[in-house]
Amino acid sequence: MEKKRTEARSAGVSSRDRGRATRRRLIEATARLCTERPGAEVSVAEIAEAAGVFPNQVTYYFGSKDLLLVHAAFVGLLHDARRIERIGRQAPDAATFRRNIARAVLAMPSLPSVARALAAGISRPELAPVVDQHLQLLFRQSERFVSQLIDGRGWRARRPLDVETRTFWSTALGAVLLVRAGAHGNVADLDLAGSLTIHDDPETG
């Protein structure tokens, strides 16, 4: 009897592991497709084929394609953010850091997908908590990166780092939303670097 219970527990754990692996494959495959085809519609069939699963597994694990797209958009954004961090670490001074970070963020391939995810969170309230969860993760990751960088370089910021990172990302994502909504101009018209207050002048602030 004990052996049967142990086998049942093992089967349950194995099933959960397979489920997590399938969810991860679906998210990564969707993020890759969205990056390769920014702004284009991606079908459930295409996602399933790219992930090597059956189409009905999309709804089984996520309930809807829209929820999967939200997860995938932010996974892509977090991958891009890590690349942005590497660019930031290479900057010799704070002015170069501000300029290079702003330029790189506005060129991130994940931004169109994230703009769609933000719009989905507005139009579908059930998706809003998922969007917020991913945004909070992005803010925390960025705050940790900036904190480590300025501590190591002796730089400063004119405001608390949580406000610094939220202001920066809100400006970047807001600009993308405006452009995608049809606002005149493009993200290149935005002084995103000006939203950062990180500097290396000990007399400033």
- What are the structural domains, with CATH classification, of the chain? 2-195 (1.10.357.10)
**Using CA atoms, how far apart are residues 80 and 199, in angstroms rounded to an integer?**
24
What's the confidence (pLDDT) of residue 205?
45
Is the per-residue pLDDT at 13 higher than 60? no
Residues 6+ apart with CB under 8 A from 69: 30, 34, 42, 113, 116, 117, 120
Which among 118, 140, 142, 141 is positioned nearest to 130, based on CA atoms? 118
Q: Please state, in angstroms and as integers, the Cα–Cα distance from residue 83 to each residue in 36, 48, 57, 86, following that order.
A: 17, 27, 31, 5
What is the residue-averaged pLDDT of the chain? 85
pLDDT digits (tens, 9 = 90+) for 65-110: 999 999 999 999 999 999 999 999 999 999 999 999 999 998 888 8
pTM, two decimal places: 0.81
Lowest mean pLDDT among 40-49, 131-140, 160-169: 40-49
In terms of C-beta distances under 8 Å and separation of at least 24 residues, what long-range contacts does 58-62 make, across chains too? 58/26, 61/19, 61/22, 61/23, 61/26, 62/23, 62/26
Q: Distances from the Cα of 25 to the Cαs of 18, 62, 73, 172, in angstroms? A: 10, 12, 14, 28
Rounded Cα–Cα distance for residues 117 and 110 (Å): 11
Kindly tell me if the per-residue pLDDT of 9 is higher than 70.
no
Query: What tokens does 129 get?
Result: 């908590």
